[in-house]
Amino acid sequence: MGLYAGMMNEEQKREYTDRELLGRYFKSVAPFRKSIALISLYIFITTIAETLNPLLVGIAVDELSNINSNLLIVLGVGGLYFILTILIWIVFLLRRKEIGKFVPYFLEKLRMNIFDKLQEQDMSFFDKHLSGQLNTRVSNDALDFGNTTLLLADTLGNVLISIFTFGMLLWLNPILALIALAAIPFIFILVISLRRVVRIVSRAYRKAIGNVNAAMVESIEGIHVSKSYGQESTVSKQFQETNKDYFKAGFRITATTHMWRPLLETIAAIALIVVIFFGGQLVFQGLTKPGTIFMFILYLQKFFRPIMVLSVFFPQLSSGMAAYERILDVLDSRPSVKQNSNAIDVGKLEGEIKFNNLDFRYRDGEWIFAKFNLHISKGEKIAVVGHTGAGKTSLVSLLARYYEFQGGSIEIDGINVRDMTLESFRRNLGIVQQDVFLFSGTIEENIRYGRQEASEDDLWNAIRTVHLEELIEYLPEGLQTQIGERGKGLSAGQKQLVSFARAILINPKILILDEATSSVDAYTEAIIQEALEVLLANRTSIIIAHRLSTIMNADRIIVMDNGQIIEEGTHNDLLIQGGKYATLYKQYFEHQSLDWEPHRESLKIE
């Protein structure tokens, strides 16, 4: 199985037909129609020049084969051939230059569309997709699909050359042209067979790349755990298996791409030999000139060259379209969090919260809440306790609109959250979580993250509220100190203080603390507890806590079990009741009390 086994289960929502993929592709490149028109013009000019060159060679050969050959004609034809060759080279450079402008802009727009679409998704989407696989779609898949644009441009030129060239073959000798044409059905049968096989192996190859990227991201993010348990060699072996799968997928697509080329070349060679044989007979019989046969052979080679390219075209096209399928899987994803079409900007909220007959599940048949009800008054401080799996984090996740509920409603100040724009609602919401995420950048940038336009006074008020100024003064670059990915360089407590300052700066009317003090030391907790008195004032607060001090100061304690509220009241009232909370208190909280002493029985060693 291994740590990376789960990534092999990545699902794609749907498959797209070739017609759908090409239709979507042409629609996506429509804004670049000017560049496409220029590229098409350059291709057409190249095609005409490529078609005329063999004709000039044939004229020169016929003229030289005459006893009284005219050297001026030969030199003139040679000069024209040279000019056309230079023209082909210049037009090729112009075409590449235009493609060089078009493809990067197209890729930039495509990547932004993917990135913006990812930003729209709710947490249920990211629960189903590993970050490394999503990164593959933004980077590798977009690049491979961008290369398909180059492929299509080159193939269009080759197809035009084949069409014009076959016209010349018919004009030169219809019989020989039909003999050459007899090879085409066999070639296309092989190419179509190749296309079907390549599409299958291309999908597997794209998935293998995603698995490698996902394994890399997971191994790097989990390096501390790996080292803590001495599992570096185990992780390396597991990655080796994932890397082998990638190698096998790459080998299959490479083998599939090249396995048909010798067969196609053999068919083309047989057709060429037959044409040379019958053409030679026609020359010996005086029915045609050597120059004509020479031209015919040149044209025939130009006719088969684009067809030979099809052996590479279809594998590369299939690979590009497989990448495009994965991109469309993201672009066509719809967030499950629903907002009504007439949602309004609610401005500043007061903070009264109502959960009305709420139904929610992450997966079918596994209900977390069923007809759940809870009323939180404006400015009330609610502490939520319960065993793991009771529904505490699910409750605040629904309030934050990370997930969509299936039944009932959530109302803030009497307004359904679905009638509020997400942006305006979340401006009123502050969240501090146990696992603090800080971005690469300066400490100031991280504090300002939710309110970048905040004044210096507001910034420093937030910093002083959580006593973060002590850390800032200690650092040589102060607020401009750079911190690494996920806040590397700061301790757990320091990161938590930064997250509190970030929450205070936006001045939210509703504050959620999801076990925000469970991973800090006693000194930092004392600082945070002092800061909480300011932070929780005049705000509606929902606190999921493992610390007794936070719970005891709450206006009301909610005890949850299996998605239901089984008890509620103040700390003292619930202790007197002697129910579930009293049990939880004795198990988890009582030892945090300053006057707690272990019972004599607990010291006995059996």
**Overall average pLDDT of the 136-146 stretch:** 72
Q: Do 448 and 326 sit in the same domain of this protein? A: no
Q: Is the pLDDT of residue 29 over 60?
A: yes
Say which residue, 457 or 320, is predicted with more confidence: 457
Q: Which amino acid is at 408?
A: G
Question: Which pLDDT score is estimated for 78?
Answer: 80
Among 43-47, 356-360, 449-453, 508-512, the range of highest mean pLDDT? 356-360
- Residue 403 inside a domain? The answer is no
pLDDT band at 130 (very low <50, low <70, confident <90, very high): low
Q: Is the pLDDT of residue 426 over 80?
A: yes
pLDDT band at 375 (very low <50, low <70, confident <90, very high): very high
Question: Which pLDDT score is estimated for 9?
Answer: 45
pLDDT band at 8 (very low <50, low <70, confident <90, very high): very low
Six token digits for residue 103: 């493809």
Q: How many domains does the chain have?
A: 2
Which of 125-129, 255-259, 262-266, 378-382 is predicted with the least confidence, judged by mean pLDDT? 255-259
Say which residue, 146 or 420, is predicted with more confidence: 420
Question: Which pLDDT score is estimated for 411?
Answer: 92
Beta carbons of 330 and 134 less than 8 angstroms apart: yes
Label the pairing between strands 381-385 and 429-433.
unpaired
Question: Which pLDDT score is estimated for 597?
Answer: 47
Report d(CA 136, CA 138) in Å as an integer.
5
- Residue 488 inside a domain? The answer is yes
**Overall average pLDDT of the 115-133 stretch:** 76
Among 75-89, 144-158, 191-205, 215-229, the range of highest mean pLDDT? 75-89
Question: Which pLDDT score is estimated for 153?
Answer: 67
- Residue 88 inside a domain? The answer is yes
Say which residue, 303 or 398, is predicted with more confidence: 398
Q: Do 34 and 157 sit in the same domain of this protein? A: yes
Which of 213-217, 238-242, 334-338, 588-592 is predicted with the least confidence, judged by mean pLDDT? 588-592
CATH of the domain at 85: 1.20.1560.10
Q: Which residue reads 């394994």 in tokens?
A: 215
- The share of the chain scoring above pLDDT 70, in percent, equals 74
Q: Is the pLDDT of residue 562 over 70?
A: yes
Question: Which pLDDT score is estimated for 286?
Answer: 65
176-181 contacts: CB < 8 A, separation 24 or more? 176/275, 176/278, 176/279, 176/282, 176/296, 179/271, 179/274, 179/275, 179/278, 180/271, 180/275, 180/300, 180/303
Q: Do 125 and 248 sit in the same domain of this protein? A: yes
Which of 4-8, 266-270, 394-398 is predicted with the least confidence, judged by mean pLDDT? 4-8
Q: Is the pLDDT of residue 311 over 70?
A: no
- Residue 424 inside a domain? The answer is no
Q: Is the pLDDT of residue 454 over 60?
A: yes
CATH of the domain at 493: 3.40.50.300
- Residue 392 inside a domain? The answer is no
Question: Which pLDDT score is estimated for 596?
Answer: 44
Q: Do 446 and 323 sit in the same domain of this protein? A: no
**Overall average pLDDT of the 144-157 stretch:** 70
Neighbours of 282 (CB within 10 A): 17
**Overall average pLDDT of the 101-105 stretch:** 78
Of 49, 314, 297, nearest in space to 160 by CA: 49
- Residue 152 inside a domain? The answer is yes
Question: Which pLDDT score is estimated for 199?
Answer: 67
Question: Which pLDDT score is estimated for 105?
Answer: 80
Q: Is the pLDDT of residue 50 over 90?
A: no
Q: Which domain holds residue 154?
A: 17-331
pLDDT band at 127 (very low <50, low <70, confident <90, very high): confident
**Overall average pLDDT of the 90-98 stretch:** 85
pLDDT band at 23 (very low <50, low <70, confident <90, very high): confident
Question: Which pLDDT score is estimated for 355?
Answer: 93
pLDDT band at 589 (very low <50, low <70, confident <90, very high): low
Question: Which pLDDT score is estimated for 195?
Answer: 65
- Residue 576 inside a domain? The answer is no
> Which domain-ending residue is among 474, 507, 540?
507
> Which domain-ending residue is among 457, 486, 507?
507
- Residue 429 inside a domain? The answer is no
User: Rounded to 5 degrees, what are φ and ψ at 542?
Assistant: -120, 120
Report d(CA 387, CA 559) in Å as an integer.
9
Q: Do 453 and 316 sit in the same domain of this protein? A: no
Q: Is the pLDDT of residue 204 over 80?
A: no
Q: Is the pLDDT of residue 162 over 90?
A: no
Say which residue, 346 or 606, is predicted with more confidence: 346
**Overall average pLDDT of the 315-342 stretch:** 79
- For 57-73, the pLDDT digits (tens) are 777 776 776 667 677 87
Question: Which pLDDT score is estimated for 548?
Answer: 65
Q: Is the pLDDT of residue 522 over 80?
A: no
Q: Is the pLDDT of residue 205 over 70?
A: yes
| Start-to-end CA span in the chain (Å) | 41
Q: Is 488 helix (H, G, I), strand (E, B) or coil?
A: coil
**Overall average pLDDT of the 359-367 stretch:** 84
Mean predicted lDDT score pLDDT of the chain? 76
- Residue 370 CB-density burial (10 A; 0-12 exposed, 13-18 middle, 19+ buried): middle
**Overall average pLDDT of the 536-559 stretch:** 80
pLDDT band at 221 (very low <50, low <70, confident <90, very high): low
Q: Do 445 and 323 sit in the same domain of this protein? A: no
> Which domain-ending residue is among 507, 538, 557?
507
Q: Is the pLDDT of residue 259 over 50?
A: yes
pLDDT band at 353 (very low <50, low <70, confident <90, very high): very high
Beta carbons of 144 and 298 less than 8 angstroms apart: no
Q: Is the pLDDT of residue 263 over 50?
A: yes
